[in-house]
Structure 1
Amino acid sequence: MSDQQTFSSFSEFYPYYLEEHRDVTCRRLHFVGSLLVLLVAISALGTGKLAWLLILPVIGYGFAWVGHFKYEKNRPATFKHPIYSLMGDWVMFRDMLTGRIPF
Protein backbone atom coordinates (compact mmCIF):
# COMPACT_ATOMS: atom_id res chain seq x y z
CA MET A 1 0.00 0.00 0.00
CA SER A 2 1.17 3.48 -0.76
CA ASP A 3 1.67 6.29 1.75
CA GLN A 4 -0.44 8.37 -0.64
CA GLN A 5 -3.45 6.13 -0.09
CA THR A 6 -6.56 7.67 1.38
CA PHE A 7 -8.69 5.93 3.96
CA SER A 8 -12.37 6.45 4.59
CA SER A 9 -12.34 4.96 8.09
CA PHE A 10 -10.01 3.89 10.85
CA SER A 11 -10.95 0.23 10.31
CA GLU A 12 -9.73 0.62 6.73
CA PHE A 13 -6.52 2.31 7.92
CA TYR A 14 -5.54 -0.09 10.72
CA PRO A 15 -4.36 -2.99 8.48
CA TYR A 16 -2.10 -0.50 6.68
CA TYR A 17 -0.87 0.76 10.06
CA LEU A 18 0.02 -2.78 11.14
CA GLU A 19 1.91 -3.35 7.88
CA GLU A 20 4.03 -0.33 8.77
CA HIS A 21 4.87 -1.97 12.13
CA ARG A 22 6.11 -5.44 11.16
CA ASP A 23 9.41 -5.15 13.00
CA VAL A 24 9.13 -6.40 16.59
CA THR A 25 11.64 -3.85 17.90
CA CYS A 26 9.64 -1.02 16.36
CA ARG A 27 6.47 -2.33 18.02
CA ARG A 28 8.29 -2.66 21.35
CA LEU A 29 9.50 0.92 21.13
CA HIS A 30 5.95 2.05 20.40
CA PHE A 31 4.73 0.10 23.41
CA VAL A 32 7.37 1.58 25.74
CA GLY A 33 6.69 5.10 24.47
CA SER A 34 2.93 4.71 24.95
CA LEU A 35 3.38 3.23 28.42
CA LEU A 36 5.67 6.08 29.44
CA VAL A 37 3.16 8.60 28.09
CA LEU A 38 0.49 7.07 30.32
CA LEU A 39 2.76 6.99 33.36
CA VAL A 40 3.97 10.58 32.93
CA ALA A 41 0.42 11.82 32.31
CA ILE A 42 -0.88 10.08 35.44
CA SER A 43 2.07 11.37 37.43
CA ALA A 44 1.62 14.93 36.15
CA LEU A 45 -2.07 14.92 36.98
CA GLY A 46 -1.51 13.24 40.34
CA THR A 47 1.19 15.63 41.47
CA GLY A 48 -0.22 18.76 39.86
CA LYS A 49 2.96 19.23 37.81
CA LEU A 50 1.02 19.89 34.64
CA ALA A 51 4.08 21.21 32.80
CA TRP A 52 5.13 17.56 32.45
CA LEU A 53 2.25 17.14 30.00
CA LEU A 54 4.23 19.23 27.51
CA ILE A 55 6.80 16.46 27.08
CA LEU A 56 4.24 13.77 26.22
CA PRO A 57 4.59 14.18 22.43
CA VAL A 58 8.38 14.02 22.70
CA ILE A 59 8.18 10.78 24.70
CA GLY A 60 5.56 9.11 22.54
CA TYR A 61 6.83 10.16 19.14
CA GLY A 62 10.49 9.90 20.15
CA PHE A 63 10.31 6.18 20.87
CA ALA A 64 8.07 5.52 17.87
CA TRP A 65 10.22 7.43 15.39
CA VAL A 66 13.42 5.70 16.52
CA GLY A 67 11.60 2.44 15.81
CA HIS A 68 10.61 3.56 12.34
CA PHE A 69 13.85 5.17 11.20
CA LYS A 70 16.29 2.70 12.77
CA TYR A 71 14.45 -0.64 12.68
CA GLU A 72 11.44 -0.49 10.39
CA LYS A 73 13.27 1.69 7.83
CA ASN A 74 10.13 3.59 6.86
CA ARG A 75 8.49 6.95 7.45
CA PRO A 76 6.00 7.03 10.32
CA ALA A 77 2.36 7.05 9.23
CA THR A 78 2.00 10.17 11.41
CA PHE A 79 3.38 12.30 8.60
CA LYS A 80 0.55 11.43 6.19
CA HIS A 81 -2.26 10.29 8.51
CA PRO A 82 -1.79 12.01 11.90
CA ILE A 83 -5.19 11.34 13.49
CA TYR A 84 -5.54 7.74 12.33
CA SER A 85 -1.91 7.12 13.27
CA LEU A 86 -2.45 8.37 16.82
CA MET A 87 -5.52 6.17 17.08
CA GLY A 88 -3.49 3.27 15.68
CA ASP A 89 -0.82 3.76 18.36
CA TRP A 90 -3.36 3.20 21.11
CA VAL A 91 -5.18 0.34 19.40
CA MET A 92 -1.85 -1.40 18.77
CA PHE A 93 -0.86 -0.75 22.40
CA ARG A 94 -4.08 -2.42 23.54
CA ASP A 95 -3.61 -5.28 21.08
CA MET A 96 -0.07 -5.89 22.36
CA LEU A 97 -1.22 -5.66 25.97
CA THR A 98 -3.94 -8.24 25.36
CA GLY A 99 -1.70 -10.55 23.32
CA ARG A 100 -3.42 -10.04 19.96
CA ILE A 101 -0.15 -8.69 18.52
CA PRO A 102 3.14 -10.29 19.60
CA PHE A 103 5.88 -8.20 21.13
Structure 2
Amino acid sequence: MAERFDSFAAFWPFYLREHAQPATRVVHVAGTWAAVLLLLAGILLGPWWLILLAPVVGYGCAWISHMLIERNRPATFTYPTWSLLGDLRMAWLAATGRLGAELQRHGL
Protein backbone atom coordinates (compact mmCIF):
# COMPACT_ATOMS: atom_id res chain seq x y z
CA MET A 1 0.00 0.00 0.00
CA ALA A 2 2.01 2.95 -1.30
CA GLU A 3 -0.61 5.63 -0.66
CA ARG A 4 -0.29 7.75 2.48
CA PHE A 5 -3.27 9.57 3.90
CA ASP A 6 -3.29 12.55 6.22
CA SER A 7 -7.01 12.55 7.00
CA PHE A 8 -9.97 10.22 7.20
CA ALA A 9 -11.63 12.21 4.39
CA ALA A 10 -8.70 11.33 2.11
CA PHE A 11 -8.70 7.71 3.33
CA TRP A 12 -12.44 7.09 2.83
CA PRO A 13 -12.42 6.80 -1.02
CA PHE A 14 -9.46 4.40 -0.75
CA TYR A 15 -11.36 2.38 1.85
CA LEU A 16 -14.37 2.10 -0.45
CA ARG A 17 -12.17 1.00 -3.39
CA GLU A 18 -10.66 -1.71 -1.19
CA HIS A 19 -14.21 -3.00 -0.65
CA ALA A 20 -15.27 -2.92 -4.30
CA GLN A 21 -16.87 -6.38 -4.36
CA PRO A 22 -20.44 -6.43 -2.99
CA ALA A 23 -19.77 -9.72 -1.18
CA THR A 24 -16.85 -8.12 0.68
CA ARG A 25 -19.10 -5.32 1.85
CA VAL A 26 -21.81 -7.78 2.96
CA VAL A 27 -19.35 -9.81 5.03
CA HIS A 28 -17.79 -6.64 6.48
CA VAL A 29 -21.12 -5.10 7.43
CA ALA A 30 -22.37 -8.35 8.97
CA GLY A 31 -19.13 -8.75 10.93
CA THR A 32 -19.18 -5.15 12.10
CA TRP A 33 -22.77 -5.34 13.35
CA ALA A 34 -22.11 -8.71 15.00
CA ALA A 35 -19.08 -7.21 16.77
CA VAL A 36 -21.08 -4.17 17.91
CA LEU A 37 -23.85 -6.43 19.27
CA LEU A 38 -21.36 -8.68 21.06
CA LEU A 39 -19.64 -5.66 22.59
CA LEU A 40 -22.92 -4.18 23.79
CA ALA A 41 -24.13 -7.53 25.10
CA GLY A 42 -20.88 -8.03 26.97
CA ILE A 43 -21.03 -4.56 28.51
CA LEU A 44 -24.73 -4.50 29.33
CA LEU A 45 -25.56 -8.12 30.06
CA GLY A 46 -22.34 -10.03 30.49
CA PRO A 47 -20.54 -12.36 30.35
CA TRP A 48 -17.35 -10.35 30.00
CA TRP A 49 -15.83 -12.71 27.41
CA LEU A 50 -18.32 -11.40 24.83
CA ILE A 51 -16.31 -8.18 24.88
CA LEU A 52 -13.19 -10.16 23.94
CA LEU A 53 -15.09 -12.04 21.25
CA ALA A 54 -16.32 -8.84 19.54
CA PRO A 55 -13.04 -7.88 17.78
CA VAL A 56 -12.34 -11.51 16.87
CA VAL A 57 -15.68 -11.73 15.05
CA GLY A 58 -15.48 -8.27 13.50
CA TYR A 59 -11.90 -8.46 12.26
CA GLY A 60 -12.19 -12.16 11.46
CA CYS A 61 -15.04 -11.52 9.03
CA ALA A 62 -13.23 -8.55 7.53
CA TRP A 63 -9.88 -10.27 7.05
CA ILE A 64 -11.42 -13.44 5.64
CA SER A 65 -13.41 -11.40 3.12
CA HIS A 66 -10.27 -9.58 2.02
CA MET A 67 -8.39 -12.84 1.68
CA LEU A 68 -11.06 -14.88 -0.10
CA ILE A 69 -13.21 -12.34 -1.96
CA GLU A 70 -11.35 -9.08 -2.52
CA ARG A 71 -7.88 -10.64 -2.59
CA ASN A 72 -6.18 -7.60 -1.13
CA ARG A 73 -4.46 -6.67 2.11
CA PRO A 74 -6.75 -5.25 4.81
CA ALA A 75 -6.16 -1.57 5.50
CA THR A 76 -6.29 -2.42 9.21
CA PHE A 77 -2.60 -3.28 9.16
CA THR A 78 -1.56 0.17 7.93
CA TYR A 79 -4.41 2.39 9.12
CA PRO A 80 -5.98 0.65 12.14
CA THR A 81 -8.00 3.58 13.46
CA TRP A 82 -9.22 4.86 10.11
CA SER A 83 -10.02 1.31 9.03
CA LEU A 84 -12.19 0.80 12.12
CA LEU A 85 -13.93 4.13 11.48
CA GLY A 86 -14.42 3.05 7.86
CA ASP A 87 -15.99 -0.23 8.97
CA LEU A 88 -18.36 1.59 11.30
CA ARG A 89 -19.23 4.22 8.70
CA MET A 90 -19.86 1.62 6.00
CA ALA A 91 -22.04 -0.43 8.37
CA TRP A 92 -24.04 2.67 9.32
CA LEU A 93 -24.48 3.75 5.69
CA ALA A 94 -25.63 0.23 4.80
CA ALA A 95 -28.09 0.14 7.71
CA THR A 96 -29.54 3.52 6.77
CA GLY A 97 -29.79 2.70 3.06
CA ARG A 98 -27.22 5.29 1.99
CA LEU A 99 -24.26 3.08 1.07
CA GLY A 100 -25.25 2.74 -2.58
CA ALA A 101 -25.34 6.52 -3.05
CA GLU A 102 -21.97 6.87 -1.31
CA LEU A 103 -20.44 4.24 -3.59
CA GLN A 104 -21.84 6.01 -6.65
CA ARG A 105 -20.52 9.34 -5.41
CA HIS A 106 -17.04 7.79 -5.40
CA GLY A 107 -17.43 6.12 -8.79
CA LEU A 108 -17.95 2.56 -7.55
TM-score (norm 2): 0.86
> What corresponds to 1:49 in structure 2?
47
Shift of 1:68: 0.6
2:64 is aligned to: 66
In structure 2, runs of 5+ residues without a counterpart are 101-108
Match of 2:89 in 1: 91
Provide the residue aligned with 1:13 in structure 2. Answer: 11
Identity %: 39
C-alpha displacement of 1:38? 1.5
Whether the 8 Å CA contact 1:4–1:80 is kept in 2: the answer is: no
Query: Residue by residue, what CA displacement relative to the aligned partner does 1:14-53 show, whole Å, maximum 9, x if unpaired?
Result: 0000000011111000111011112111211222312221
Give unpaired runs (5+ residues) of structure 1: none
* Residue 35 (structure 2) aligns with: 37
TM-score under structure 1 normalisation?
Answer: 0.90
Once superposed, which parts of structure 1, at least 4 consecutive aligned residues long, lie more than 2 Å away?
none
2:66 counterpart letter in structure 1: H
Q: Give the superposed CA RMSD.
A: 1.1
